[in-house]
Chains A and B, each alone.
Chain A
């Protein structure tokens, strides 16, 4: 069942939903990356909650005009308008008053959402039959989705994606260095506005699939996960898009396999699983890699200090140091150095003396700055430079046995 869902064999409608969701996920991941790098991830939370009054008002307007209140395009236009008002309110509160952005975001999201709930109850009281499941917009629902709706979502996702990819250069510049972007003559304010417009588009398109409470997750989690794998913005953007697409694809497919698996939460939880995996296992920035790195460094420090102690003829009491030396065959179990141990100890002492000479004298500050107590000087200086140092400090001295 799951395999059929993942490979799009569950019928036309499920396929349409899955592909549409994946396109939406890609667009959200790519757009969200710029928002994340600009450190304004939670603005999307205000935007998404601010869509609710628009949905309610659009429904009321369409019913008042004698139409069908459930027309998805009409509802989405309404939600876009009210999200725009919410965005303006956030920027008014941050620019024209002393309130910080987080307070403005929280105020807008709670007030707009509250007002939206009021409108939903008004619609409910107008006649239960016509209420038309507007609550689906809270948590998303792909169950009764029409073909036209799915096409609208897929088309919208593709459009957003095209705009972001076309403008990724200036957007990247603005996110990393707004001052430099101004100096280059880029319209920073307008690009910021465009970025918010794109976020709004993703939100509105995602309302039906993921729902307005969870759509922020599609904008935030993929870029955060992608950031673990690369330091290059191009790669992060594409990777984030891919993570968004995979999450949406897998989530929508999982949700199609059983009745009690709502689409929005499944997509978000898939994305979170990818995030957790990235946090743990990514090379470089991942937790596991960092732990390994730390452990390796620790062993090298112990090894080095143990060898220096041997070189100075001092007894070693520290457990880990002894184990490491013994494991490498450098000391006997009673703590007496083997021949190999004496040789390594002498080399360590020599290395230390060379470092000391290098750091004492002028002229090699760049190389001397690399001293961290475990690095061999051969990896930093050329043979000629080492010979020059040796000439100054004299030949090797013996090591007490």
Chain B
């Protein structure tokens, strides 16, 4: 998280000093660093971003290639363009690398989703959670804690949980 905060400071400084090329790369790094935060507590090693490692690397590379392509082919005051697929080449680079390719990140997320959200993972999480909740009472926790946990909730179960919430809230106030 320290790196994310440093990048945020870097962005504010680059913005205040007018360094727009530096700002653009800091922005790219900031976005991928934030995405990497999704894995920062999941794994033992801080730089192990599994299962999102390739997504973070891929998006980072896409952004850097896109921005570099733009800066190589365009600068303020450019008046002549080479047109590719109906757009100036530099604008097409933006469209491809900063709009279209990042959408594939959503597909990547869906493909690796089973490794963070399959039945076994969720059952493990919920059974650990219920074990903890049997030893300590927390505000807004379902009452009574369920031993199996993790099964899909139903409206009926929710209604039951809501009824029990007044009890939780009484504790909360205490």
**Do chains A and B interact in one complex?**
no
